[in-house]
């Protein structure tokens, strides 16, 4: 597996992010190795809070939550998924599959031997993270899920042929058009435009591009934009970011539908505190909390909340509310 590693100097002097890097070597699945980066801060004997990011972000997304959690006495661990942040970046899009992402992070989790974990999942952090919860339920004590899920063929089969055909003919949208596409509920699902954009637009890793700000309508400083772009010196580093949306199992015949359904069976028996903290203005995952409330026993009796006002990336828009959600879910059975 051909792998790139972002030069360290790309991460020098980042705005509001001066944490020492930590690394864990894992198996790449082809007889080689990959290096996963993670932040590990706070009290060594404190309760572990695991923060998992999505796409096209990295653990920098948690820059405002980490210090608040440290102040509250936690040991805070925030990894970069393979292909993102300071973690290694396989070059070929075909190197990235949903199954491999789960296997990579499973290897990382077990090698760190983390237990009694409280987790905060969002976006792809939840697609991978919830599979970890299902695979190792004994390691997790509390879950906070925000703007995420674990889809297993969301699009009804009756609509699939027409949508697949329409996707082939979609023009690649500009980053500045993405928020409008997601907000439009009358035509082709906005996520398909995002899938097209990520796979084909050079803006996903163009110096100075503000993809996260455009998607979420977030106002970012120049320093924050630069930090989000730091992992990708050029497009050759961005295969993971390009591939992720195409790995979401929207259609019933896409890979990992069966595996996600099997994971749902485990979650339907997960009775530890499970809080839903979705935002009030995220067209990507709006309504995604309903299935968890209905199916996961750990959701019962929990003070779920709406993070407001916030879009998709709640961690940077309302960090205090996100940290309070973590504190409250832990206090639920204290």
What are the catalytic residues? 123, 282, 312
**What distance in Å separates the CA atoms of residue 326 and residue 142, rounded to the nearest whole number?**
8
- Strand order, beta sheet including 48-52: 22-27, 33-42, 75-79, 48-52, 117-122, 140-146, 274-276
Residue 116 near residue 330 (C-beta atoms within 8 A)? no
């Amino acid at each position: 597996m051909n792998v790139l590693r972002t030069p360290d100097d790309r991460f020098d002097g980042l705005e509001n992010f001066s944490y020492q890097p930590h690394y864990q070597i894992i198996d790449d699945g082809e007889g080689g190795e990959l290096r996963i980066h993670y932040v590990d801060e706070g009290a060594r004997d404190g309760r572990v809070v695991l923060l998992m990011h999505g796409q096209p972000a990295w653990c920098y997304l948690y820059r405002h939550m980490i210090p608040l959690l440290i102040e509250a006495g936690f040991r805070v661990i925030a990894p970069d998924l393979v292909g993102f942040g300071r973690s290694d970046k396989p070059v070929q899009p075909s190197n990235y599959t949903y199954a491999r992402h789960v296997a990579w992070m499973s290897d990382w989790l077990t090698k760190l031997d983390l237990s009694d974990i409280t987790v905060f999942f969002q976006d792809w952090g939840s697609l991978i993270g919830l599979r970890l919860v299902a695979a190792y339920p004994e390691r997790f004590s509390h879950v906070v899920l925000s703007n995420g899920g674990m889809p297993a063929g969301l699009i009804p089969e009756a609509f699939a042929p027409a949508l697949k055909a329409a996707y082939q003919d979609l023009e690649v949208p500009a980053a500045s058009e993405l928020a409008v596409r997601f907000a439009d509920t009358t035509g082709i699902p906005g996520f398909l435009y995002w899938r097209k954009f990520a796979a084909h637009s050079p803006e996903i890793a163009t110096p100075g591009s503000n993809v996260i700000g455009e998607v979420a309508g977030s106002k970012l400083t120049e320093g924050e934009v630069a930090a989000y772009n730091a992992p990708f010196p050029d497009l050759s580093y961005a295969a993971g970011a390009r591939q992720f949306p195409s790995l979401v199992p929207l259609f019933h015949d896409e890979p990992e539908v069966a595996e996600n359904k099997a994971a749902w069976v485990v979650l339907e028996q997960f009775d530890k505190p499970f809080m839903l903290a979705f935002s009030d203005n995220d067209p990507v995952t709006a309504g995604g909390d309903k299935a968890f409330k209905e199916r996961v026993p750990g959701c019962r009796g929990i003070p779920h909340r709406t993070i407001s006002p916030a879009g998709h990336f709640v961690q940077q828009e309302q960090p205090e509310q996100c940290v309070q959600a973590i504190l409250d879910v832990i206090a639920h059975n204290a």
